[in-house]
Amino acid sequence: MDPSGDGVGGLTATGLLCGSCGTELPPDSRFCNKCGSPVRPATTTAEYKQVTVLFADVVHSMAIAATVGTERLREIMTDLVNRAAVVVQRYGGTVGSFTGDGIMAVFGAPVALEDHAIRACLAALGVQEEAKRLAVDVQDRDGVELQLRIGLNSGQVIAGEMGSGPFGYTTVGEQVGMAQRMESVAPPGRVMLSASTAQLVDGTAALGEPEMVRIKGADEPVPAHLLLGMGERHRAVGRPESTLVGRRWELSAVEGLLDCAVDGHGAVVGVVGPPGIGKSRLVREVRAMAADRGVDVFTAFCESHTSQVPFHAVARLLRATTGVDGLEGQEARDRVRDRVPDADSEDVALFDDLLGIADPDAALPRIDPDARRRRLTALVNAASLARESPAVYVVEDAHWIDEVSESMLVDFFTVIPQTPSLVLLTYRPEYEGALMCVHGAQTIALAPLSDSETAALITELLGADTSVRALGKSIAERAAGNPFFAEEIVRELAERGVL
């Protein structure tokens, strides 16, 4: 129920729910068996949450039942629901209910998730992939076509234990109904997003053109978008970006380190600050500096839903560095061999496996994990030391990095001072991991903008007309020196037609 980590637990239909991490626990638990937090009875029956709701429904389920029979339909639905539940849980969602021929899931409750819409989109695509795999078996055995419609909607709901009966954790509100409406207008095998969800994933998801759809309960058509895929961008492509305000000292410091790196004296720099303070914006300015100097930039994003996926971040960074992104099979493996032509063939095979491009017909060396890591570290560090052209390596949101990647990157970064390379790590103040302890690493802490800097930013966003002066002061107070908050407040006001 409570994501703040105070240990207050809530009840689900199957048992107790940890208030810190959301793990389902046996009813008599006193401590969470995953995070160790003490579990106390919930003190709140329900609360408002910002969530994304997912509805998935089998197309023509009654016709399928008429063809295969009720018992066989139950078997199909059990398999489908189990597969879907695994995907939902992988992305931090909670399966709210089984609707007979589909499921409802919620992302952002009971544990709050700032990226609930992104997680829900990833889960929706994953559920569709599982449904398509199952559909092959169903077609072969039963001769019927199994397809899902999925709809997503984001907004505020009431979530919690409803009443004193055995209802478990439930999510209710207008936004839940809208998700179901989006499912009803989705084409078979596709995912339909409401305008609110589309806005939250703008720049991260590949969306179809907006289309006006008619839904039950609405007098006029409402906008919706087909979800076509997910990328790794964290900021909207093409969204107007305000002029960088402040950060002169920070930019000057990084520019000096970049110049040293170009001259062969590399450095590792951590950029730390709370959400919205401008870490990613500073990185974009450094990217522009690097481009002006003809320096290559390689980036890996860490994400909250991949923090438990081993090798996720390190593989992303190395795929970017070796240039195999977008390549598959032998073409990707040939690209790697061009990058490390003198490497031992077994080491290259291990490297292919790390990048996810291994030859499925080739056997990997039978060595223990420590030996594998030592050989990979030696290979990567040798390539870094042999590189003659300067490079910038960026790892964004390292507070979400998986443990294996964190450990391996620490080993890789030990040789950076001897190379023409600059490493930029961005993370939040709560991060206390190993990347903070890289030998010789420097730290740049981003503080809130000053009052004058915040005023300058808001003046650029709103304009200097006296009619918006009072509004500008109000926005400045609410933003509290956080540039992203200021921009988002102005953008929301503009989209609501207030400005």
Q: Please, what is the average pLDDT of the chain?
A: 83
For the sheet containing 442-445, what is the strand order? Answer: 296-301, 391-396, 421-427, 267-272, 442-445
| pLDDT tens figures, 201-258 | 887 888 999 899 888 877 788 999 999 988 754 443 344 566 788 888 999 999 999 9
Among 230, 258, 281, the domain boundary falls at: 230
CATH number at residue 352: 3.40.50.300
Please report which confidence band the pLDDT of residue 465 belongs to, taking 50, 70 and 90 as the band edges.
confident
Do residue 429 and residue 460 come from a single domain? Answer: no
pLDDT of the residue at 227: 94
The answer to whether position 235 is within a domain reads no
Among 230, 257, 274, the domain boundary falls at: 230
Q: Which of 347, 359, 330 is nearest to 383 (CA)?
A: 347
* CA pair distance 157, 174, nearest whole angstrom: 7
The answer to whether position 242 is within a domain reads no
Q: Which helix (H) or strand (E) holds 107?
A: strand 102-107
- How many domains does one find in the chain? 4
User: Which residues neighbour 471 within 8 Å (Cβ) at sequence distance 6 or greater?
Assistant: 462
Residue entry with tokens 């703040």: 4
The answer to whether position 76 is within a domain reads yes
Do residue 337 and residue 466 come from a single domain? Answer: no
Q: What percent of the chain has pLDDT over 90?
A: 45
| pLDDT tens figures, 23-51 | 666 766 666 665 555 554 444 456 677 88
Tell me the Cα Rg of the chain.
Answer: 25
CATH number at residue 164: 3.30.70.1230
User: Which residues neighbour 463 within 8 Å (Cβ) at sequence distance 6 or greater?
Assistant: none
Please report which confidence band the pLDDT of residue 163 belongs to, taking 50, 70 and 90 as the band edges.
low
Do residue 220 and residue 153 come from a single domain? Answer: yes
The answer to whether position 313 is within a domain reads yes
Do residue 49 and residue 37 come from a single domain? Answer: no
The two beta strands, 191-194 and 222-230, are: antiparallel
The answer to whether position 182 is within a domain reads yes
Do residue 65 and residue 207 come from a single domain? Answer: yes
The answer to whether position 241 is within a domain reads no
Three-state SS for 314? helix
H-type helices in 144-243, by residue range?
Answer: 174-185, 195-200
User: What is the mean pLDDT of the segment spanning 436-444?
Assistant: 90
Which phi and psi (to 5°) does residue 295 adopt? -95, 135
Do residue 359 and residue 309 come from a single domain? Answer: yes
Higher pLDDT among residues 158 and 256, named by residue: 256
The answer to whether position 238 is within a domain reads no
Three-state SS for 234? coil
Do residue 404 and residue 419 come from a single domain? Answer: yes
Please report which confidence band the pLDDT of residue 167 belongs to, taking 50, 70 and 90 as the band edges.
very low
| pLDDT tens figures, 327-344 | 888 999 999 999 888 888
- Cβ neighbours, 10 Å, residue 288: 10
Do residue 263 and residue 223 come from a single domain? Answer: no
Which phi and psi (to 5°) does residue 434 adopt? -65, -25
Do residue 325 and residue 424 come from a single domain? Answer: yes
Three-state SS for 105? strand
Do residue 199 and residue 124 come from a single domain? Answer: yes
User: What is the mean pLDDT of the segment spanning 474-495?
Assistant: 81
The answer to whether position 434 is within a domain reads yes
- DSSP code, position 355: H
Among 186, 202, 230, the domain boundary falls at: 230
User: Which residues neighbour 497 within 8 Å (Cβ) at sequence distance 6 or greater?
Assistant: none
Do residue 377 and residue 258 come from a single domain? Answer: yes
Residue pair 400/303 in contact (Cβ under 8 Å)? The answer is yes
User: What is the mean pLDDT of the segment spanning 432-447?
Assistant: 91
The boundaries of the domain holding residue 468 are 451-495
- DSSP code, position 468: G
- Cβ neighbours, 10 Å, residue 231: 11
Do residue 360 and residue 384 come from a single domain? Answer: yes
169 pLDDT above the threshold of 70: no
Q: Find the farthest-apart pair of alpha carbons in the chain and give their distance in angstroms, rounded.
A: 73
